Structure 1
Amino acid sequence: MLNDMLALIRYSVPGARAEEFMEQATSILGTLSAQTGYRSGHIGRSVDEPGLWALVSEWEGAGFYRRALSAARMDMYPLMTLMINEPSAFEVLVSNP
Protein backbone atom coordinates (compact mmCIF):
# COMPACT_ATOMS: atom_id res chain seq x y z
CA MET A 1 0.00 0.00 0.00
CA LEU A 2 3.01 2.29 0.04
CA ASN A 3 2.13 4.07 -3.22
CA ASP A 4 -1.66 4.06 -2.80
CA MET A 5 -3.44 7.34 -3.26
CA LEU A 6 -6.80 8.92 -2.65
CA ALA A 7 -8.37 11.35 -5.11
CA LEU A 8 -10.89 13.85 -3.80
CA ILE A 9 -12.59 16.23 -6.22
CA ARG A 10 -15.08 18.59 -4.63
CA TYR A 11 -17.91 20.35 -6.45
CA SER A 12 -20.23 23.24 -5.58
CA VAL A 13 -23.56 22.17 -7.09
CA PRO A 14 -26.66 24.39 -7.13
CA GLY A 15 -29.78 22.50 -6.02
CA ALA A 16 -31.35 22.86 -9.46
CA ARG A 17 -28.40 20.95 -10.99
CA ALA A 18 -28.19 18.14 -8.43
CA GLU A 19 -29.89 15.50 -10.59
CA GLU A 20 -27.80 16.42 -13.64
CA PHE A 21 -24.66 16.38 -11.50
CA MET A 22 -25.45 12.92 -10.14
CA GLU A 23 -25.92 11.51 -13.64
CA GLN A 24 -22.69 13.04 -14.93
CA ALA A 25 -20.69 12.13 -11.81
CA THR A 26 -21.93 8.53 -12.09
CA SER A 27 -20.69 8.49 -15.69
CA ILE A 28 -17.29 9.84 -14.59
CA LEU A 29 -17.05 7.19 -11.89
CA GLY A 30 -17.87 4.51 -14.46
CA THR A 31 -15.09 5.73 -16.75
CA LEU A 32 -12.61 5.90 -13.88
CA SER A 33 -13.54 2.42 -12.65
CA ALA A 34 -12.63 0.95 -16.03
CA GLN A 35 -9.06 2.27 -15.77
CA THR A 36 -6.00 0.30 -14.67
CA GLY A 37 -5.05 0.91 -11.05
CA TYR A 38 -8.56 1.84 -9.89
CA ARG A 39 -9.51 0.40 -6.48
CA SER A 40 -12.83 1.97 -5.50
CA GLY A 41 -14.91 5.11 -5.82
CA HIS A 42 -17.75 7.04 -4.25
CA ILE A 43 -19.99 10.02 -4.89
CA GLY A 44 -21.07 11.87 -1.77
CA ARG A 45 -22.83 15.01 -0.65
CA SER A 46 -22.21 17.03 2.51
CA VAL A 47 -24.83 16.48 5.18
CA ASP A 48 -24.22 20.02 6.44
CA GLU A 49 -24.01 21.84 3.09
CA PRO A 50 -26.15 19.99 0.50
CA GLY A 51 -24.59 21.98 -2.35
CA LEU A 52 -21.14 20.54 -1.61
CA TRP A 53 -20.47 17.23 -3.36
CA ALA A 54 -17.40 15.00 -3.64
CA LEU A 55 -16.15 12.43 -6.12
CA VAL A 56 -13.72 10.19 -4.23
CA SER A 57 -11.62 7.41 -5.71
CA GLU A 58 -8.77 5.20 -4.55
CA TRP A 59 -5.84 4.22 -6.76
CA GLU A 60 -2.78 1.99 -6.76
CA GLY A 61 -0.66 5.10 -7.33
CA ALA A 62 -0.58 8.66 -8.62
CA GLY A 63 0.46 7.60 -12.13
CA PHE A 64 -2.64 5.45 -12.50
CA TYR A 65 -4.85 8.33 -11.33
CA ARG A 66 -3.27 10.86 -13.67
CA ARG A 67 -3.66 8.55 -16.68
CA ALA A 68 -7.28 7.87 -15.67
CA LEU A 69 -7.97 11.63 -15.60
CA SER A 70 -6.87 11.81 -19.22
CA ALA A 71 -9.26 9.00 -20.11
CA ALA A 72 -12.14 10.67 -18.23
CA ARG A 73 -11.48 14.21 -19.48
CA MET A 74 -14.46 14.30 -21.86
CA ASP A 75 -16.82 12.96 -19.18
CA MET A 76 -15.49 15.51 -16.69
CA TYR A 77 -15.70 18.53 -18.96
CA PRO A 78 -19.42 19.35 -18.38
CA LEU A 79 -18.82 19.59 -14.61
CA MET A 80 -15.60 21.67 -14.78
CA THR A 81 -17.43 24.89 -13.89
CA LEU A 82 -18.71 23.26 -10.69
CA MET A 83 -15.30 21.95 -9.53
CA ILE A 84 -13.64 23.60 -6.57
CA ASN A 85 -10.11 24.48 -7.68
CA GLU A 86 -7.86 22.73 -5.17
CA PRO A 87 -5.40 19.82 -5.12
CA SER A 88 -7.16 16.48 -5.56
CA ALA A 89 -4.45 13.81 -5.20
CA PHE A 90 -3.49 12.63 -1.71
CA GLU A 91 -0.87 10.06 -0.75
CA VAL A 92 -2.19 7.41 1.66
CA LEU A 93 0.00 7.43 4.75
CA VAL A 94 -2.12 5.33 7.13
CA SER A 95 -4.86 2.86 6.28
CA ASN A 96 -7.14 0.83 8.52
CA PRO A 97 -9.09 -1.64 6.35
Structure 2
Amino acid sequence: MPLGPELCLTGRLAEGPFGLELHSGGGVWELDTRRGARQLLGREVEVCGRRAGFNELICDQIWPAGQPRPPRSKFNIELLLACSVVGYGLIAFFLGLVGRLG
Protein backbone atom coordinates (compact mmCIF):
# COMPACT_ATOMS: atom_id res chain seq x y z
CA MET A 1 0.00 0.00 0.00
CA PRO A 2 1.42 3.43 -0.88
CA LEU A 3 2.15 5.86 1.92
CA GLY A 4 -0.31 8.67 2.47
CA PRO A 5 0.44 12.36 2.83
CA GLU A 6 2.14 13.65 5.97
CA LEU A 7 -0.11 13.53 9.02
CA CYS A 8 0.55 15.33 12.33
CA LEU A 9 -1.22 14.08 15.47
CA THR A 10 -1.13 14.78 19.20
CA GLY A 11 -1.85 12.16 21.86
CA ARG A 12 -0.52 9.95 24.63
CA LEU A 13 2.29 7.51 23.83
CA ALA A 14 1.71 4.00 25.21
CA GLU A 15 3.11 0.48 24.88
CA GLY A 16 0.78 -1.82 22.94
CA PRO A 17 0.82 -5.49 21.97
CA PHE A 18 2.69 -4.74 18.72
CA GLY A 19 4.93 -1.88 19.88
CA LEU A 20 4.34 1.79 20.52
CA GLU A 21 0.86 3.26 20.13
CA LEU A 22 -0.47 6.79 19.98
CA HIS A 23 -3.84 7.27 21.70
CA SER A 24 -5.33 10.31 20.00
CA GLY A 25 -8.93 11.56 19.96
CA GLY A 26 -10.45 8.18 20.81
CA GLY A 27 -8.38 6.36 18.18
CA VAL A 28 -5.25 4.25 18.47
CA TRP A 29 -2.40 4.47 15.97
CA GLU A 30 0.33 1.83 15.79
CA LEU A 31 3.64 3.64 15.40
CA ASP A 32 6.66 2.59 13.41
CA THR A 33 9.32 4.73 15.05
CA ARG A 34 12.91 4.77 16.25
CA ARG A 35 14.03 3.43 19.62
CA GLY A 36 14.52 6.90 21.11
CA ALA A 37 10.74 7.37 21.26
CA ARG A 38 10.45 4.94 24.20
CA GLN A 39 11.76 7.61 26.54
CA LEU A 40 8.47 9.47 25.93
CA LEU A 41 6.18 6.59 27.08
CA GLY A 42 3.20 7.80 29.08
CA ARG A 43 3.62 11.41 27.96
CA GLU A 44 1.64 13.63 25.62
CA VAL A 45 3.53 13.81 22.33
CA GLU A 46 3.23 15.22 18.85
CA VAL A 47 3.92 12.89 15.94
CA CYS A 48 4.39 13.61 12.25
CA GLY A 49 4.55 10.77 9.77
CA ARG A 50 2.86 8.99 6.90
CA ARG A 51 -0.13 6.71 7.14
CA ALA A 52 0.38 3.12 6.01
CA GLY A 53 -2.51 0.71 6.19
CA PHE A 54 -5.55 1.18 8.42
CA ASN A 55 -4.04 2.52 11.64
CA GLU A 56 -0.26 2.42 11.19
CA LEU A 57 1.78 5.60 11.17
CA ILE A 58 5.39 5.55 9.95
CA CYS A 59 6.91 8.31 12.06
CA ASP A 60 9.24 10.94 10.67
CA GLN A 61 9.44 12.79 13.99
CA ILE A 62 8.10 12.49 17.53
CA TRP A 63 8.57 15.02 20.33
CA PRO A 64 6.95 16.14 23.62
CA ALA A 65 3.67 18.02 23.09
CA GLY A 66 3.77 21.77 23.53
CA GLN A 67 7.38 22.09 22.43
CA PRO A 68 8.43 23.43 19.03
CA ARG A 69 8.91 20.86 16.29
CA PRO A 70 12.58 19.85 16.17
CA PRO A 71 14.48 20.43 12.93
CA ARG A 72 14.52 17.48 10.59
CA SER A 73 17.68 15.49 10.15
CA LYS A 74 19.31 16.22 6.81
CA PHE A 75 20.89 12.77 6.68
CA ASN A 76 18.79 10.35 4.64
CA ILE A 77 20.04 6.79 5.16
CA GLU A 78 17.71 5.31 2.50
CA LEU A 79 19.14 7.62 -0.16
CA LEU A 80 22.70 6.78 0.91
CA LEU A 81 21.99 3.03 0.69
CA ALA A 82 20.33 3.35 -2.72
CA CYS A 83 23.27 5.35 -4.09
CA SER A 84 25.70 2.77 -2.69
CA VAL A 85 23.92 -0.10 -4.41
CA VAL A 86 23.76 1.76 -7.73
CA GLY A 87 27.44 2.75 -7.44
CA TYR A 88 28.46 -0.83 -6.66
CA GLY A 89 26.47 -2.07 -9.67
CA LEU A 90 28.12 0.43 -11.99
CA ILE A 91 31.61 -0.47 -10.76
CA ALA A 92 30.89 -4.20 -11.18
CA PHE A 93 29.51 -3.59 -14.68
CA PHE A 94 32.56 -1.61 -15.84
CA LEU A 95 35.03 -4.06 -14.28
CA GLY A 96 33.23 -6.92 -16.04
CA LEU A 97 33.32 -5.00 -19.32
CA VAL A 98 37.06 -4.31 -18.95
CA GLY A 99 37.68 -7.99 -18.13
CA ARG A 100 35.98 -9.12 -21.34
CA LEU A 101 37.82 -6.61 -23.51
CA GLY A 102 41.22 -7.28 -21.97
Q: Which has the higher helix share?
A: 1
Scaled by the length of structure 1, the TM-score of the pair is 0.22
Q: Rg larger in 1 or in 2?
A: 2
Q: Which has the higher strand share?
A: 2
Scaled by the length of structure 2, the TM-score of the pair is 0.22
